[in-house]
Amino acid sequence: MEEPFRGRRDAFLRKVRRRPAVMGILNVTPDSFFDGGQFQTIEGATLHAKKLVADGCDIVDIGAESTRPGAVPVSEAEELARVEPILSALARRLDAPLSIDTTKARVAARALACGAIAVNDVGGLQRDAAMADVVAAAEALIVIVHNRAEKDESIDIIPDIRAFFDRSLTLADKAGIARERIILDPGIGFAKTSRQNRDAVARLGELKDYRLPIMVGVSRKSFLGSLMDGNPEASLIGTVAANLAAAARGAAIFRVHDVAEHVAALKVFHAIRGTS
């Protein structure tokens, strides 16, 4: 990792240790569930990324393959064609750290070479065998996201998350990824029932013993609508409420579409918690 990007990586880690951090979502996909097709050009992506930063986000997460349920997988070549020119442009134009949202090691490697400082892997280092080595070689941050092959409503989701994290952390250790560059994400919305999604947020405190930052990504996800009589107009309110609940249980990083609202809400939360 080049020195300017190494500096951004270390500055981001310092922020995470001091206060809640916000990750702004930039989807350069045609089919993401909330904003698909809006930011596929370099200029469109740049304008939106600048807005995310102006609104107060601490890192911009760029994804070129939708991970919504039922999304059509894209090839490595297509994912690279979508993300590489945009990420390269943003690394030059944006004074903020960038993350790549991918499960493919070669896509991650190109993104890190272009200036990304982190890999947000919804495969949790378990989908592509080369991913851990790519992250270790670049000295990048890694977000290990819990995932499953399919939903199973019969299981207790927290032990399942812990078993998954244990496997992923073993892979990280073997590859030589420094522990201080690992972030855990319980994978809200990934092969979980609505009840399991609620449990994953409500019981985040049971993951504190890993002594690693916890990120949550509940933004605009459908299970929130099921808690609010399926009212899509209330999804922002539901998202903010769920993220504050996660913050109260120890979450440190919040991956969101609506940055300004979360920066404001978390500032108030952090101020009140700091005086209690």
For the chain, which residues make up each domain, given as ranges?
A: 3-275
Contacts of 91 by beta carbon, 8 Å cutoff, 6+ apart: 5, 98, 114, 115, 116
Model pLDDT for residues 65-103, shown as the tens digit of each residue: 977 666 678 899 999 999 999 999 999 999 999 999 999
Model pLDDT for residues 99-114, shown as the tens digit of each residue: 999 999 999 999 999 9
d(CA 111, CA 12): 18
User: Is the CB of residue 103 less than 8 Å from the CB of residue 127?
Assistant: yes
* pLDDT at residue 131 tops 50: yes
* pLDDT at residue 36 tops 50: no
**Active site (annotated) includes residue 50:** no
Q: Which of 104, 181, 192, 221 is catalytic?
A: 221
d(CA 56, CA 66): 25
Q: Which of 104, 181, 192, 255 is catalytic?
A: 255
**Active site (annotated) includes residue 51:** no
Residues forming a β-bridge with 253: 21, 215
pLDDT score for 38: 62
Q: Which pTM was predicted?
A: 0.93
Q: What H or E segment, with its residue span, contains residue 141?
A: strand 141-145
Contacts of 149 by beta carbon, 8 Å cutoff, 6+ apart: 191
Average predicted confidence (pLDDT) for the chain: 92
Helix (H, G, I), strand (E, B) or coil at 102: coil
Model pLDDT for residues 245-265, shown as the tens digit of each residue: 999 999 999 999 999 999 999
Q: Does domain 3-275 have CATH number 3.20.20.20?
A: yes
pLDDT score for 70: 63
Q: What is the average pLDDT across 132-155?
A: 97
Model pLDDT for residues 152-180, shown as the tens digit of each residue: 999 999 999 999 999 999 999 999 999 99
